[in-house]
Amino acid sequence: MVYLALILATVALDQLTKAWIVDSFKLFESLEIIPGFFNLVYVTNSGAAFSLLADVDSPWRHYFFLVVGALAVVGLTVAYVKMVKVNWYYCPALALIAGGAIGNLIDRIRFGAVIDFLDVYIGQYHWPAFNVADSAICIGAGMCLIINILDIRNQEARERQ
């Protein structure tokens, strides 16, 4: 099953890269890779994307993110079952999103926060640090948008004929 294989590959790559960062760096340590553009850095994020709710000091935050992550994986799998019948290309897109969600969910369970290590910046302007799971989620979401746009255009073309 391609869906499950892509999820497992995404989770494995995500967890292997995070394990390497944890073993190789001290918290907040940074290594410049491309001057003025890209660093490897070991940071944690107890919030959501872009550190949303990271400053909320409440025990519910951790459990909230665990429940949301688990529900997202279930919802994505239900969507996969329905959407793959419409267009097979939803399979890799939804698998990337689910794999990324699982990768970050594993971090929340193990560490209470997500490990981020990819630091893209220009001068002093830094994009929030991210990881392989976040990248997979963004790529999968982008794929879903492109598939939807192409499906709408194909549907409109069929209706004009």
Contact 118, 124 (CB under 8 A): no
Q: Where are the domains of the chain?
A: 2-160
Tell me whether residue 107 is one of the annotated catalytic residues. no
Tell me whether residue 151 is one of the annotated catalytic residues. no
Q: Write down the catalytic residue from 14, 107, 119, 134.
A: 134
- pTM over the 0.75 mark: yes
Q: Which residue has the tokens 């929340």?
A: 108
Q: Which residues lie closer than 8 Å to 44 by C-beta, 6 or more apart?
A: 27, 111, 113, 114, 115, 116
What pLDDT digit, counting tens, does each position of 49-107 carry?
655 555 556 666 667 878 888 999 999 999 999 998 889 999 999 999 999 999 999 99
Q: Write down the catalytic residue from 14, 107, 116, 119.
A: 116
